A and B are shown apart, each in its own frame.
Chain A
């Protein structure tokens, strides 16, 4: 293994579902009896996959199954997947918090893992004392911490509070201090879970910068787990997708993110069909410019609503409109169209409405569709049936993800009037 920092072979991890407690003694004895006869554990049946939606009679679930991959030294790898895909389990095994059920990981160099910031911080102790304690928990020697103390304090920006108990810190200061300690570990491999979800945007940027520096500048290997595709894209060169405990693909980060976005769509229904017999609005679906139906859109993709309507004599002089709302039911915009400008005769007609790209910011949205005569009559409306999302695939705002920075992108012009 010349240039390989981490090599994962046939890695699996099983979890027991349900109550652990009653009946465990008899079960343990049975297990132990199988073990001394050299047999397989009777409670681990190979073949159960980690699907959280389907029921199964087995109460053992494979959170990871037969994972194989290699990570090169100095690479920055993003590990992405839906909730429950096994990302955190993989990180836990890699950081030796829990042991795998089968399989093996071999590697080279010290590992520092940041599954959480501030592990072992004691509220009564001062910032300085906690830097030493936390550093030691993460595996640093005392003199190593001593050497880096100034750098850590500087990075966290807590110089004035160094000798104050951390229980009096603001939560921002607390997180900054904790990340600073971890970021200054001298390890060859850095494992980071979604710790960046905390802290303000400025600090997140600083952390991302620091981690980029670590992988590019110092040639260290970084493993990064996040839901924030923007951050993953910025930081990582390659990616691994986990899905239901198995590895789907590994490779170049742009390709991996594309695959992930497609994976997201296959799980939801991008389609609505009206079951009412006398309906005017028959079918609605969302799709992209290539007419493929989907509900997850990249931020720079056009979002197209395709409407299949029965235009009868009541409708022909009415308006058809769409209204886009966010998850808080705030109306973002509406768009109205006179139907007789679109069609000249009654009958079944298909319309498309294109929402321009780079308009909606990443997030979940829903659309209402109505045929109405303004202030007189609502002929038909479809509410709470059409959902779609815009993904964070590298917008200028990805550092603010999680914060409410609005629903639309506005391309404002900034001018300098006077500068000295």
Chain B
């Protein structure tokens, strides 16, 4: 449909019903330039007319790390598996932020873009994809900050070591992106009709952080609450963050079972997300 092929005699049809699982990959590929320009727009417009510019990307994780170190590390005295506290928290925050940003932004994609979507057609999936991609830039910047902190602690002789699981890092990033994308698309598709979800997602993501091993290690949760730790274990973000921490810092509860579980949940949510997203995108203009 409406391809950007140079083929002038391209035939197309518009019908009332569409195939339920249609990725339209060919179409998305045809619009790849738009994806790049959207990412660029997000990035450039983020720091236009600010003094600190891209530095703002650093400030948020830095301050959060400091606060977490004081509140959870020192005040509450939650164990960090023997790792330096700032390093432990920043690892969790960096990974969690990427997932949370993807989820938050994707979940409002229909509302935020109702204006454009109501006036012009392009593959709607471009928008969530551009969100995931532009957050990746932000994530990259924060990873850089994390690596600096790692180097600092390494040279001051702190007790941690990089493990083989660092090889899984690319998969960890892809999993976080797809999980945020999948869950976000489901929520965005449903918020077009049921606005309630929009309120839920605002603090829901924040609460979800406490059900994920961002500010405490999984081992600690199992030790203190053996009966309820399964909630945390069934959260697909838990194995992802544990793997991330195990890879970079050598501490954490990594298991292939958990990692495999996260992959299965992610793919299932993603597939479901694409189906509902495709279904909603055809008519959402009428209800928003």
Contacts and interface: CB of A to CB of B under 8 A. Distances in A.
A125 B16 contact: no
B14 A93 contact: yes
Contacts of B282: 98-99
A99 B120 contact: no
A120 B126 CA distance: 14
Given A21-B195, A122-B45, A106 B116 contact: no
Interface in A23-64: 24-25, 28
B120 A100 contact: no
A136 B193 contact: no
Q: Is the interface of B mostly helix, strand, loop or mixed?
A: loop
Contacts, number: 124
A138 interface: yes
Interface in A70-112: 92-111
Contact of A109 (B9, B37, B116): B9
A103 B12 contact: no
B118 interface: yes
Contacts of B13: 104-107
Contacts of A133: 34, 37-38, 41
Interface residues of A, number: 47
B223 interface: no
A104 B2 contact: no
B275 to A, nearest CB: 14
B120 A97 contact: yes
A99 B13 CA distance: 11
Interface string A379-416: 00000000000000000000000000000000000000
A127 to B, nearest CB: 14
B194 interface: yes
A137 interface: yes
B109 to A, nearest CB: 14
B31 interface: yes
B159 interface: no
B193 A94 contact: no
Contacts of B2: 96, 110-111, 139
Nearest to A14: B286
B118 A97 contact: yes
Nearest to A117: B119
B121 A104 contact: no
Contacts of A93: 14
A105 B120 CA distance: 17
B24 to A, nearest CB: 12
B22 interface: no
A396 B77 CA distance: 84
Contact of A99 (B8, B18, B38): B18
A93 B285 CA distance: 11
Interface in B61-94: none
A100 B44 CA distance: 37
B14 A125 contact: no
A164 B118 CA distance: 28
B49 A124 contact: yes
Given A105-B13, A120-B116, A137-B34, A96 B121 contact: yes
Nearest to A104: B15
Interface string B12-29: 111110100000000000
A113 B10 contact: no
Interface in B211-251: none
Given A111-B2, A119-B115, A120-B120, 20 more contacts: A15-B286, A92-B118, A93-B14, A97-B119, A98-B286, A104-B13, A104-B16, A106-B11, A106-B14, A107-B13, A108-B10, A113-B120, A133-B34, A133-B38, A136-B33, A136-B37, A141-B33, A142-B36, A165-B48, A188-B8
30 contacts: A15-B286, A21-B194, A24-B193, A93-B14, A97-B117, A98-B285, A99-B16, A100-B14, A100-B16, A101-B16, A103-B16, A105-B14, A106-B12, A106-B14, A108-B10, A108-B11, A109-B9, A110-B2, A111-B2, A113-B121, A115-B120, A122-B45, A124-B49, A129-B40, A129-B44, A133-B41, A138-B120, A140-B4, A165-B48, A188-B8
Interface of B: 1-4, 8-16, 18, 31, 33-34, 36-38, 40-41, 44-45, 48-49, 115-122, 193-195, 282-283, 285-287
